[in-house]
Amino acid sequence: MKNFFLKQLESYKLIYRELIKENLSLFIQLFLFLLLEGLTIVFSILSLVPIADFFADNTLSDPSYITKFFIKVYDFIGIDSGIVTFLLAFIFFNFLKAINNTIISYGIIKIKYTLIKKLTFNFLKNCFNSRWLFFQRHSSGRFINIYNNEIGKISSSFYDFVTQSSMSIKFLTYLVTPFFLNFQITITTLFLAIIFTSPFLVLGKIANKLGYKNTLTGKNFLTGISETLQAAKLIISYNKQKDEIQRNQDLFLQHLKVTTKFQILSSITTFFYQPLAILAISISLIYSLKTQSNIAELAAVLYSLVATLPMLGGFVQSNLNLQNLTPSLIMYKSLIDESKSLKERNSGNKFDKITSQIEFKNISFKYDNGFKAVKNCNLVFKKNMITAISGKSGSGKSTLLDLLLGIQIPLSGNIFVDSQNINNIDLASYRNNFSIVSQDPYLFNVSILDNLKWVKKDIDENHLQECLRLANCEDFIAKLPNKIETIVGERGMKLSGGQRQRVSLARAIVGKPQVLILDEPTSSLDKESEQLIFDSLKKISNFTTIILITHDSKIINLADKIYSIKDGEIVDKN
């Protein structure tokens, strides 16, 4: 038991530190909304008192001070005090409460999603401000889970935490009402309440439709995020972090539009249930007036029951949610902290263009697990020449590329661009000089044209045609049903390996890179596709520096310089 309370206390402390302190203005807004809700509840209860007074003594010779107050107000605005007025006021206050609840619900949903937005984009920004190493350390599933489950849990628990605090006050407010029991009236009221709430079944249908849309936009949002995270290396290499964050933000806003409608509709049903139940009670009162039951007190009992029972359920539920919050919050926070500790360097001189060469001087590199993948390598990549790196799988070729792009940081040694050490250069401006065609190129699930425009939005028609020609894409695109507007499928799966490779090559040259890196561009291709890539490279090599990683003896013959690497060491240069 002691352990349970200690755990509970720890949860509260963590929530205070990580959520409330960090989001104080949100917290205050939410609390004010809930206080406002409490106020409408008090009014709806107070308006019950004149009715009770009337049934106790319909001459109202000695009513309570609350009834006197209501009568004074009615006199002031020129309305006759009587049972009809009292009942109408009671119904009015309850409808007011429902409307107020709807507004509050909108406010709460807005606040909840502001928090989700903040947590989500804080996470995405931190991820993309950190080095590739951060992505390498975690599976994409871990990231998706953060978005899919943990952030949702955190924000709903944040709401529950505030609700829980205000719930106890509300609960007591309701219990002020007198409490008596009558079986017959309860049954009549329940029966009437069911009849009155049946029209909400229609709302249920609309909610169902919206719910479907809600799932779809939610899924689209998650797919977008998942795609972005899977393409992280590509995004970093092409400096597309900002664009990708924007694309996800747009998908999120689409989802927000639908989900707000959907959730408001769901809550309307809950909120309007209560005034309609009150209407049922009022009818029961009139019916009981004829059968001479003790109506005033019964109304209060039924009212209290209607109001407090769902509250008790909510109280239990929110406490359960609070239990789930701590692990989610810890998981979220630890990833954010790690991404901050692996922040990408964003200082240094802006880099314009390579004038002569890039040189690796005594470069060594160790992976996180201690494995030394590159050992004392010396390499030179000359401007407008083809430099090839060959070696068996696992020899360290891709690691050399990551070092070249500044995606990995050397353990020792230096990389110079012309005479500048890349440690002193702004990485984003440095990477703008490169384009990559990887072994298994990543294409987005949009048209071929949009995949090319991803690199350069305002690509002019002549340049576009030139890139398609250089990459040998023209013929196969002409045969596609929607030509360049053809959607390529997830990861470009609707294209063949060779076509994917060539679209990726076209995309790489759209931005007119100074250095084109090709990582095993022909490894999974048939002879014909291989020949097409070979032809493209010959054309492109006239005006671009090319770095080629390959086993392919035919392609390697194109190279001006070949480095052979074995177990992380350069073993042969020619």
- Interacting residue ranges for ligand ADP, rule: CB under 6 A: 136, 367-369, 371, 373, 391, 393-399
Q: How far apart are CA 428 and CA 430, in angstroms?
A: 5
CB of 382 to ligand ADP, least distance (A): 22
The one-letter amino acid code at 518 reads L
CB atoms within 10 A of CB 556: 15
> Of 397 and 502, which has the nearer Cβ to ligand ADP?
397
CB of 390 to ligand ADP, least distance (A): 9
> Of 61 and 139, which has the nearer Cβ to ligand ADP?
139
> Of 7 and 392, which has the nearer Cβ to ligand ADP?
392
| Token pair of 25 as six digits | 């203005």
The one-letter amino acid code at 200 reads F
> Of 143 and 303, which has the nearer Cβ to ligand ADP?
143
Q: How far apart are CA 159 and CA 150, in angstroms?
A: 14
Q: How far apart are CA 237 and CA 434, in angstroms?
A: 8
The beta strand positions in 225-371, using DSSP E, are 357-366
β-partners of residue 361 are: 414
> Of 106 and 367, which has the nearer Cβ to ligand ADP?
367
C-beta of residue 167 within 8 angstroms of C-beta of residue 319: no
Closest CA to 456 of 541, 404, 383, 513: 513
CB of 528 to ligand ADP, least distance (A): 26
> Of 136 and 215, which has the nearer Cβ to ligand ADP?
136
CB of 479 to ligand ADP, least distance (A): 34
C-beta of residue 93 within 8 angstroms of C-beta of residue 43: yes
Q: What three-state secondary structure class fits 98?
A: helix
> Of 372 and 456, which has the nearer Cβ to ligand ADP?
372
CB of 422 to ligand ADP, least distance (A): 19
C-beta of residue 224 within 8 angstroms of C-beta of residue 247: yes
> Of 80 and 368, which has the nearer Cβ to ligand ADP?
368
CB of 365 to ligand ADP, least distance (A): 9
CB of 449 to ligand ADP, least distance (A): 32
The beta strand positions in 308-426, using DSSP E, are 357-366, 372-382, 386-390, 412-417, 420-421
CB atoms within 10 A of CB 30: 23
CB of 347 to ligand ADP, least distance (A): 26
